[in-house]
A and B are shown apart, each in its own frame.
Chain A
């Protein structure tokens, strides 16, 4: 055995625990789920081949379309919101101020709260009658009503029913999503610290102001990080599950918070239609794949890689 070959074998031996784990717990289930998506499979009975029946049924399943629509709307609202908030926070926390590490910690800590506890906490924050949010909002709206009344404009603005109104349930979730933007913020912050000071100095010499420096230096230099967070955000928001599953049983009210993964879970483990759920899983995979490719393609001209 040549030294090179021996080295290869040794390397394989060292990675073998991972190979075994990956093949058993990831690769095999992945491949099996492709097969099951073409089967009638309830976990306990052997899978029976049904061709594309699961996919055609999905096509005619209005709840499937409803959950897909909900998920896309949520993504469209939550993704820009959380990206803007995370980026703004990161830019603020990049300032050279005394005690900055403490501020950074404070803004990151919420991301460490487990999703399940977070859901329970926000149930109270958004509580229609006793919640903190409406506790602050209602007096403000009352004052506005009073003001409009003085101007002879009849108005009766009232704080939204965040959790029980189909119109407000998704915005409530989006607002909650901001709470967990600490991870993205941290990545932005790392990116910001990588921007060469020389560029800012050069910009200063050219007489650039804060906005010009942000637009012409910071954002281009940060663009690969923004792209990374965008793609991770697409993947994360399209798979939103834990918090709405706990806060809105059955996707109430009127299925306005019934998201794709929740319907997938219900099909797999409550209705015992594992084949159907597998088909849903693969459709979601394709959607995420296409969106990611689109994001990558669209970013080609806009993302600037410092090294290239």
Chain B
């Protein structure tokens, strides 16, 4: 027998009595591991502030702005400590966390989520809290309060708001021998200017004056520009209304005039929105419908539009010449704070929300994100310090009568997908009958809307 074999045998002899204990020992190791990891993940309760969890979608400077508000709140008092966590794909995760019974105390969702989440009881009504903290419609620019108000209850309060305007690259107007300080008032004027600005190179589009498909975020909403609506506020969808048909014919006119393939080929060459290759920032498209956030990207990626002279402008989006009553039309949107169903500390959560909704908290947040404030009262200092030269326009437009928001209906995501698809059909096929396409949307979505309302009635949500 070799020496090593002898040692091995000796070792086997030594552990023989231990073999009986192998299984219980393994079980013990598992139990101890679970116990220890649980102990590590749940810190012992210590006297001190109550920790509440807040999930937010923002990253980058927008995330930093909210972190500053959270820090200010945590410093201001010592009873509650808000733990801010950045969460991607926040709508789904909040929903599933609520379904699993372990949601955050506060979640930062998007304005158009309200109807769907409220219908599904994923978020709780905030009426009593609003009363307690004296937060009512008078505290806000009406549209931003309205977006969180649904089915006779307040479900959400705004964080940062948005409104849209036509953004103009003045240099591109000059290049086309147009007066850079004369913005188009009507759609007809804009179309004429766009035709002068649009140029070709090697048989392809090189520059465009305006493109309804760029940036493509309001493909569902062009009807509003012509006075159309998508819903009658009761039980009927109105995708096929005359105004909507007229709007999408106008959209299609761009494909007819410049060529559907030429436009889509041109668009396919654009880079990411948040990059210097952005169509507007890189001088490819002269006039674009954009929101209040656009200033941040101009500042970051296209400083040539700011210095040495201010070479961009934001003006109200043009109206059809025969509908001057539609002047100053804007799309309003907002990010919101909600308390998911099953949140452990709703009272404390709302205390923090109330701080965000105060003039101090809101101006800190909106200044950080370089947007306007959704509140009715704004300090003079806010506008003085604000870097966006057109911030007052973005704050004024949503106060007007032509402010528009997506319909507050639970099936909006599906309706929106259908409208976006119709937009593609219309723009990629200049010969397609607009009325028939919109009628198809109507025929597909109305029965779904009826079924949705019926389900809500059966659930006892509506009479």
Contact = CB atoms under 8 A, between A and B. Distances in A.
Interface stretch (A75-83, A161-169, A198-206): A161-169
B25 interface: no
B424 A254 contact: yes
Given A44-B98, A44-B122, A252 B424 contact: yes
B341 A164 contact: no
B264 A44 contact: no
Given A43-B99, A161-B261, A164-B264, A13 B116 contact: no
A164 B267 contact: yes
Interface string A18-46: 00000000000000000000001011110
A250 interface: yes
Interface stretch (A95-103, A207-215, A265-273, A283-291): A265-273
B95 A272 contact: yes
A181 B268 CA distance: 27
Given A163-B268, A269-B92, A272-B95, A254 B421 contact: yes
Contacts of A165: 261, 264
B428 A130 contact: no
Contacts of A250: 417, 420-421
A170 B112 CA distance: 32
Interface string A124-144: 000111100000000000000
Nearest to A120: B272
A93 to B, nearest CB: 35
Interface string B424-435: 110010000000
Nearest to A272: B120
Contacts of B121: 44-45
A253 B269 contact: no
Interface residues of A, number: 28
A40 B455 contact: yes
A254 B428 contact: yes
A2 B266 CA distance: 78
Contacts of B267: 164
Interface in A210-232: none
B96 interface: yes
A62 B444 contact: yes
- Secondary structure at chain A's binding surface: helix, strand, loop or mixed? loop
Given A127-B268, A129-B269, A271-B411, A45 B92 contact: no
Q: How large is the interface on B (under 10, 10 to 19, 20 to 34, 35 or more residues)?
A: 20 to 34
Given A165-B264, A254-B421, A271-B413, A43 B95 contact: yes
Contact of B264 (A13, A253, A266, A269): A253
Nearest to A266: B417
B414 interface: yes
A166 B417 contact: no
Given A45-B120, A254-B424, A164 B268 contact: yes
A10 B23 contact: yes
Contacts of B266: 129
Point out which of A10, A165, A252, A271 has the most chain B C-beta atoms below 10 A from its C-beta. A271
B379 to A, nearest CB: 39
Nearest to A128: B268
A179 to B, nearest CB: 20
Interface in B108-126: 116, 120-122
Interface in B423-463: 424-425, 428, 444, 455, 458-459
- 3 residue pairs, one from A and one from B, having the closest CB atoms: A129-B269, A128-B268, A164-B264
Interface of B: 23, 92, 95-96, 98-99, 116, 120-122, 204, 261, 264-269, 341, 411, 413-414, 417, 420-421, 424-425, 428, 444, 455, 458-459
Interface of A: 10, 13, 40, 42-45, 48, 62, 127-130, 161, 163-166, 250, 252-255, 266, 269-272
